[in-house]
Amino acid sequence: MLRWFPKAMLALALLILVAGWPRSIQWAVLLTVGAYIYGRWLPWRFDVLDDGIALTFAFGRHLFLPKRSTTVRLEYVGAVALPENRRRFGYPLTNGLGFEPQREKGLRLALVLHGYTIT
């Protein structure tokens, strides 16, 4: 869902504009801004590598977080990669929608084996 939902929001915005409903411009702008935020800050896939974490976003954006400047915060509800320059804002590490508790041990093991700082 994280991969295709922003694209579906853009398609719905276009459909609303073409239909010409009252206040269609406001709804189209709202959906477009929501799709932009969703596709820009929520990665749909991540890979734990020896020298960093590779994130893939919905509209084809790729981001690499180097290991030396990234801290991973593991919580009960999931994991968040915190870049060095942004301590409060991070990127959620999920491979799908929602958090599955049985994956927490595997993610923790992968991060420890690759030498990441975990809080």
Nearby residues of 108 by Cβ (< 8 Å), 6 or more positions away: 74, 118
- Counting Cβ atoms within 10 Å, is residue 60 exposed (0-12), middle (13-18) or buried (19+)? exposed
Give yes or no: residues 68 and 26 share one domain.
Answer: no
Give yes or no: residues 58 and 114 share one domain.
Answer: yes
Conformation bin of residue 15: beta by default, left when phi > 0, alpha when psi is -120 to 50: alpha
Give yes or no: residues 22 and 53 share one domain.
Answer: no
Give yes or no: residues 111 and 56 share one domain.
Answer: yes
Q: How far apart are CA 88 and CA 71, in angstroms?
A: 11
In the numeric block, which tokens belong to residue 69? 């400047």
In the chain, the number of structural domains is 2
pTM of the predicted protein model? 0.75
Give the pLDDT confidence of 10-66 residue by residue, as tens digits.
Answer: 999 999 999 988 888 999 999 999 999 888 888 888 888 889 999 998 888 899 999
Give yes or no: residues 57 and 113 share one domain.
Answer: yes
Give yes or no: residues 51 and 109 share one domain.
Answer: yes
Give yes or no: residues 55 and 97 share one domain.
Answer: yes
Could you list the residue range(s) of the whole structural domain that residue 36 is in? 5-41
